[in-house]
């Protein structure tokens, strides 16, 4: 690796989501880098209700110095219920034992929390330096300028990976935040975080605030109600960002659910629902393009459609690793982006593989029992998806450790030569 002072590098980041903001924080901490972040929206607004901050996310937020102010509801109890009958199918406690020993709390050292998305966004924005974020600026095309100097990193997908496309998956998610006090009288709706599973979707509900911080009347409750259909049956345009949905539309998917679910949905005031359509696409073989000057991070790099509920953590990890790779390569941008790709692509590959395995195991269970009842399919669904324990390589991922191991591997490889 070159040892001289690295040359100055201008970096353009497209998008002010967790990925772009995290990358802006991590990259602008490097002395030779000048960062500009372009966001198409005129203001940075986060409308996605709540977000889960698990151990992987806490680790990277700590590395970015952005964990202060990110505070919410500690997921002490997570319940899985039959959404129609209300029957309790599974329960996980924060202090409960994990396979391999220890509890979620002990193993990760931090508590998973459900927080308002706005709090994560504010914490990140607060760490991005003055003048870096340019709002109301949309990337519409990219051109190679004759005689232009090398050394710009841009984070975008459709402009450089033209053969790659994402499609509506058939999953529609309705999300809202309402005062927790408005549902506190409904049995079992609070304080546990609960999945109410139905035949073609589920309702997820959770508190999102820390009771030691806010008065009871200020605390909020999150609902994410999901329906899955065959995407081929859907006509009309779908949007991945939140568009308004009526009460009637949302409630129509849950008419046969447990009365507690229906009562909760009925309490949401008209005009409070936002509808998100999930899009996903195949894994990209490589995250670097345009002669090593463009790199994808966050959702743009792995269109998984929120499959693991940890995409913000992945996006933040990407930004932090990108900064380490650029720092390590000391001016060799191509080498830096290759390092980034070498570390992150296999990680995403493992996620796609895992999802394929889940899909196959569900299909096998169905093939073995074609007359599978709703209860049987539900059991398969609840058992199929691992949590903190089975997926510790995701939820317990320590990105600092990942980087240290990569560097150690390079040192070991050199000493063998
Ligand atoms: C229902 C659901 C639940 C989820 N729950 C969780 C959770 O609990 N925990 C978790 O960690 N993750 C969760 N996720 C995933 C998480 O929201 C995403 O993975 C995360 O927001 C990805 O961040 P990002 O910065 O890559 O992309 P985004 O957050 O999508 O940000 C992209 C930004 O780029 C801007 N942009 C796009 N195109 C342009 C352009 N041409 N020019 C300029 N700007 C542009 C957009 O306006 C946007 O602000 C969930 C996702 C879904 C759908």
Question: 156: domain CATH number?
Answer: 3.50.50.60
C-beta of 159 in contact with ligand 1 (< 6 A): no
- Asked if the structure places residue 95 within a domain, the reply is no
pLDDT value at position 8? 87
- Asked if the structure places residue 393 within a domain, the reply is yes
- Asked if the structure places residue 303 within a domain, the reply is yes
136 and 285: one domain? yes
152 and 43: one domain? yes
25 and 153: one domain? yes
Domain containing 271: what range? 169-280
**Of residues 35, 85, 335, 36, the one with CA closest to residue 199:** 85
Using CB atoms within 10 A of its CB, is residue 188 exposed (0-12), middle (13-18) or buried (19+)? middle
| Atom of ligand 1 lying closest to residue 41 CA | 47
152 and 195: one domain? no
CA-to-CA separations, 372 to 84, 229, 367, 377, in angstroms, rounded? 17, 18, 9, 6
30 and 127: one domain? yes
217 and 231: one domain? yes
C-beta of 10 in contact with ligand 1 (< 6 A): no
220 and 174: one domain? yes
C-beta of 38 in contact with ligand 1 (< 6 A): yes
235 and 286: one domain? no
Q: Whose CA is nearest to atom 30 of ligand 1?
A: 17
pLDDT digits (tens, 9 = 90+) for 44-78: 876 668 999 999 999 999 999 999 989 999 988 99
C-beta of 275 in contact with ligand 1 (< 6 A): no
What strands lie across the sheet with 133-135, from one edge to the other?
9-14, 33-39, 133-135
Across the chain, mean pLDDT equals 88
260 and 321: one domain? no
Ligand 1 center from residue 392 Cα (angstroms): 23
Size of the chain, expressed as the number of residues it contains? 417
Mutate to test the pocket of ligand 1, among 23, 312, 317 (most ligand atoms within 8 A of CB): 312
291 and 160: one domain? yes
Residues 288, 290, 291, 293, Cα dihedral to 10°:
-70
- Answer whether residue 98 shows pLDDT above 50: no
- Asked if the structure places residue 69 within a domain, the reply is no
Domains of the chain: total: 2
- Asked if the structure places residue 144 within a domain, the reply is yes
Q: Whose CA is nearest to atom 34 of ligand 1?
A: 15
C-beta of 311 in contact with ligand 1 (< 6 A): yes
Mutate to test the pocket of ligand 1, among 14, 17, 56 (most ligand atoms within 8 A of CB): 17
- Answer whether residue 36 shows pLDDT above 80: yes
Domain boundary among 230, 256, 280: 280
CA-to-CA separations, 220 to 62, 81, 191, 215, 290, in angstroms, rounded? 25, 22, 11, 10, 45
Domain boundary among 251, 280, 309: 280
Domain boundary among 231, 255, 280: 280
pLDDT digits (tens, 9 = 90+) for 112-152: 999 999 999 999 999 999 999 999 999 888 777 655 554 44
Residues 103-107: what's their mean pLDDT? 50
For the chain, state the CA radius of gyration: 22
C-beta of 14 in contact with ligand 1 (< 6 A): yes
287 and 148: one domain? yes
Residue 161's pLDDT band, with cuts at 50, 70 and 90, is confident
Which tokens in the block code for residue 276? Answer: 């998100």
- Asked if the structure places residue 379 within a domain, the reply is yes
Q: Whose CA is nearest to atom 51 of ligand 1?
A: 306
- Asked if the structure places residue 378 within a domain, the reply is yes
153 and 21: one domain? yes
pLDDT value at position 100? 46
C-beta of 19 in contact with ligand 1 (< 6 A): yes
pLDDT digits (tens, 9 = 90+) for 165-209: 788 989 999 999 999 999 999 999 999 999 999 999 999 999 999
CATH number at residue 220: 3.30.9.60
- Asked if the structure places residue 77 within a domain, the reply is no
């Amino acid at each position: 690796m070159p040892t001289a002072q690295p040359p100055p590098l201008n970096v353009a980041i497209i998008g002010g989501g967790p990925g772009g903001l995290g990358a802006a924080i991590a990259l602008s901490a490097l002395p030779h880098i000048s960062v500009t972040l372009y966001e198409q929206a005129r203001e940075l607004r986060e409308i996605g209700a709540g977000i889960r901050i698990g151990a992987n996310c806490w680790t990277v937020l700590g590395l970015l110095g952005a964990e202060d102010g990110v505070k919410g509801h500690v997921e002490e109890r997570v319940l899985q219920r039959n959404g129609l009958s209300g029957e309790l199918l599974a329960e996980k406690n924060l202090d409960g034992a994990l396979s391999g020993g220890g509890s979620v709390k002990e193993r990760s050292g931090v508590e998973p929390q459900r927080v308002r998305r706005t709090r994560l966004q504010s914490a990140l924005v607060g760490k991005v330096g003055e003048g870096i974020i340019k709002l109301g600026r949309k990337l519409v095309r990219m051109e190679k300028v004759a005689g232009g100097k090398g050394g710009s990193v841009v984070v975008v997908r459709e402009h450089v990976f033209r053969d790659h496309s994402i499609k509506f998956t058939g999953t529609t998610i309705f999300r809202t935040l309402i005062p927790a006090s408005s549902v506190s009288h409904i049995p079992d709706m609070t304080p546990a975080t609960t999945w109410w599973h139905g035949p073609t979707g589920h309702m997820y509900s959770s508190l999102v605030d820390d009771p030691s911080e806010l008065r009871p009347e200020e605390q909020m409750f999150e609902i994410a109600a999901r329906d899955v259909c065959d995407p081929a049956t859907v006509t009309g345009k779908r949007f991945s960002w939140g568009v308004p949905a009526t009460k009637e539309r949302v409630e129509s998917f849950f008419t046969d659910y447990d009365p507690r679910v229906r009562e909760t949905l009925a309490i949401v005031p008209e005009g409070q629902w936002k509808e998100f359509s999930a899009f996903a696409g195949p894994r990209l073989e490589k995250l670097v393009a345009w002669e090593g000057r463009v790199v994808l991070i966050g959702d743009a790099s792995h269109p998984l459609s929120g499959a693991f509920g940890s995409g913000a953590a992945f996006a933040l990890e990407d930004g932090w690793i990108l900064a380490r790779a650029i720092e390590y390569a000391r001016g060799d941008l191509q080498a830096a982006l290759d390092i980034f790709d070498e570390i992150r692509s296999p990680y995403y590959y493992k996620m796609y593989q895992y999802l394929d395995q889940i899909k196959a195991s569900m299909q096998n269970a169905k093939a073995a029992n074609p007359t599978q009842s709703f209860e049987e399919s539900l059991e398969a669904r609840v058992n199929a998806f691992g949590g903190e324990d089975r997926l510790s390589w995701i939820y317990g991922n320590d990105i600092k450790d990942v980087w240290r191991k990569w560097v150690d591997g390079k040192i070991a490889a050199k000493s063998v030569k």
